[in-house]
Amino acid sequence: MSGEQGPGDRIDFGYQQVPVAEKAQRVGQVFRSVADKYDLMNDLMSVGLHRLWKRQTVAMARLRPGMRVLDLAAGTGDLSRLMARLVGGRGQVVMTDINDSMLAVGRDRMLDAGITGNLDYALVNAEALPFPSGSFDRVTIGFGLRNVTDKTRALREMHRVLKPGGFVLVLEFSHLYLKALQPAYDAYSFQLLPRMGKLVAGDADSYRYLAESIRMHPNQETLRDMMQEAGLEDCDYTNLSGGVVAIHRGFRY
């Protein structure tokens, strides 16, 4: 979306169309509902693959000691935890989320893991980042962009806060390129996943929304073009697991 919405405009919330002003609130309700079981459900839903996807993202970040990293939609902090160790005591990772419940769970996880000193926390809307321009060497967002109301505005903000020479990494569910797997993937997403959410998290509707939000998210080429339109350069993407997930990258020069 372009950031030109008016008060009467509507936007997708999964397969529903809702007023633009309501989407953030509805997404917030989803993640408040699932925060306590989020990590367990991630392991079950992906059979542990999400950990490999996140490690691949951090490897692509090419982090060095002393770098400053902004982790948007950090949730319970999987990316932040890995990156904090790489930037070291002279570096800094700012772990952010728009959802207070998710950020609280993530903060508790980091404290339990003994990660302090180079990790800060902020309740942040990705569409209006409260940081000066050129503040960060890297910006990451893992499985969060599809829940943002105005994706183009968020991408522009990511570009703005990057230092020259830095880059953005977007880890997100995407579109299968192995089309023979689509029927099985659909059955898993719309039948098994909500049942699993009901059984484990006591919430089938939230996981039904998550499956729908994946299908409504832009495909690999569209997201790459959106990143370029937002000012990022040399944008590319890497497919993982047959396109179930993709890592998009875009630079600021």
pLDDT in tens, 62-110: 999 999 999 999 999 999 999 999 999 999 999 999 999 999 999 999 9
Nearest alpha-carbon partner for 173 in 189, 152, 187: 189
Residue 68: inside a domain, yes or no? yes
Residue 3: pLDDT over 50: no
* 133-190 tens-digit pLDDT: 999 999 999 999 999 999 999 999 999 999 999 999 999 999 999 889 999 999 999 9
Instruction: Decide the pairing of beta strands 136-142 and 119-123.
Output: unpaired
The answer to the question of residue 111 being in a domain is: yes
The sign of the CA dihedral 25, 207, 151, 66 is positive
Q: Is residue 11 situated within a structural domain? A: no
How much is the pLDDT for 41? Answer: 87
10 Å Cβ neighbour count for 64? 12
pLDDT of residue 6: 52
| Residue 192 covered by a domain | no
For the segment 109-118, the average pLDDT, to the nearest whole number, is 94
- Does residue 2 lie in a domain region? no
With respect to residue 32, please indicate whether it lies within any of the assigned structural domains.
yes
Q: Under 8 Å CB-to-CB from 171, ≥6 apart: which residues?
A: 53, 54, 57, 79, 140, 141, 142, 143, 245, 246, 247
Domain, as residue range, for 165:
27-177+210-251
Q: Binning pLDDT at 50, 70 and 90, where does residue 5 land?
A: low
Mean pLDDT (whole number) for 198-223? 94
Residue 81 belongs to domain with CATH number: 3.40.50.150
Instruction: Give mean pLDDT, residues 20-48.
Output: 90
Q: Number of folded domains in the chain?
A: 1
Please say whether the dihedral angle defined by the alpha carbons of residues 16, 21, 22 and 24, taken in this order, is positive or negative. positive
Residue 1 has pLDDT above 70, yes or no: no
Q: What's the pTM value of the predicted model, to 2 decimals?
A: 0.93
